Amino acid sequence: MTGVERTTWQDVRAEVLHRITSRRWKPDDLIPTEVELAAEFGCARATVNRALRTIAEDGLLERRRKAGTRVARHPVRRATLRIPILRHEIEDLGARYTHRLLRQDRRAPTKAVRARMALAHTADALRLTALHMADGKPYAFEDRWVNVAAVPDIATADLSDMSANEWLVTHAPFSGGDISLAAVSATRTMALRLDVTPGDALFTIERTT
């Protein structure tokens, strides 16, 4: 016969997710404590901890010391987005990459940008506007705010040769100090659907963490 299988944190995670999606544990319900779950699953508390912690990171549980763990009321769907270096993306398409820095200045960010970056209202930021081109044709437009306090070196960097994204990836991975608004050209069917005025455009917002 096979030996006794150990309970892994993935096992616990799967079972807890099942209880949430099956609504055995409903939104806002307080679920059992780590100690209780460890006893139920026959594993160490650390195993339960890791399972619940990953689920909480996904936004499905809310955990607070002393208060316990609750099923989130309004689970926020999150998506992790891979932000490619546009140069690689374009070159992978077999096109020649160029980019043009349209604008580069330091200024106080708008209120909306400040809120997203969690900046003090006194902080200033570097505002970059650039166009990425494939074979000379506009491919993507980039409007980026960089928190100078978080990435001081960028103030003196030469961004006419290397794009800001590429510079950040190379010099300050995961500094958490920039936000980017990007626009990428696409099909025209969506414009018809949206009934936009010709010349209007669409945009996407990305926030690096």
Partner DNA sequence: CAGTGGTCTAGACCACCAG
Partner DNA sequence: TGGTGGTCTAGACCACTGC
- Which C-beta is closer to DNA: that of 11 or that of 166? 11
Tokens matching residue 5:
């299988």
Q: Is 111 in the site for DNA (CB under 7 A)?
A: no
CA distance linking residue 30 with residue 63, whole number of Å? 10
Enclosing H/E stretch for 140: strand 137-147
**Given 16, 52, 55, 133, the residue binding DNA (CB under 7 A):** 52
- Which C-beta is closer to a second copy: that of 72 or that of 123? 72
- Collapsed DSSP state (helix, strand, coil) of residue 164: helix
CA distance linking residue 174 with residue 78, whole number of Å? 19
Report in angstroms how near the CB of residue 35 gets to DNA at its nearest.
6
Q: Is 164 in the site for DNA (CB under 7 A)?
A: no
Tokens matching residue 103:
């604008």
Angle in degrees, CA 149, 153, 159, rounded to 5: 115
CA distance linking residue 185 with residue 168, whole number of Å? 24
CA distance linking residue 125 with residue 145, whole number of Å? 6
Q: With CB cut-offs between 5 and 8 Å by kind, which of DNA, a second copy, none does residue 62 bind?
A: none
CA distance linking residue 209 with residue 205, whole number of Å? 13
Window 122-161: residues binding a second copy (CB under 8 A): 129, 131, 138, 141, 143
Q: Is 54 in the site for DNA (CB under 7 A)?
A: no
Q: Is 92 in the site for a second copy (CB under 8 A)?
A: no
Report in angstroms how near the CB of residue 69 gets to a second copy at its nearest.
16
Q: Which residues contact 102 (CB under 8 A, 6 or more apart)?
A: 129, 130, 131
> Total residues at the site for a second copy (CB under 8 A)?
58
Q: Is 4 in the site for a second copy (CB under 8 A)?
A: no
Q: Is 63 in the site for DNA (CB under 7 A)?
A: yes
Q: Is 43 in the site for a second copy (CB under 8 A)?
A: no
Q: Is 59 in the site for DNA (CB under 7 A)?
A: no
- Collapsed DSSP state (helix, strand, coil) of residue 193: helix
Tokens matching residue 62:
């809310």
**Given 7, 11, 15, 17, the residue binding a second copy (CB under 8 A):** 17
Q: With CB cut-offs between 5 and 8 Å by kind, which of a second copy, DNA, none does residue 83 bind?
A: a second copy
Q: With CB cut-offs between 5 and 8 Å by kind, which of DNA, a second copy, none does residue 34 bind?
A: DNA
Q: Is 193 in the site for a second copy (CB under 8 A)?
A: yes
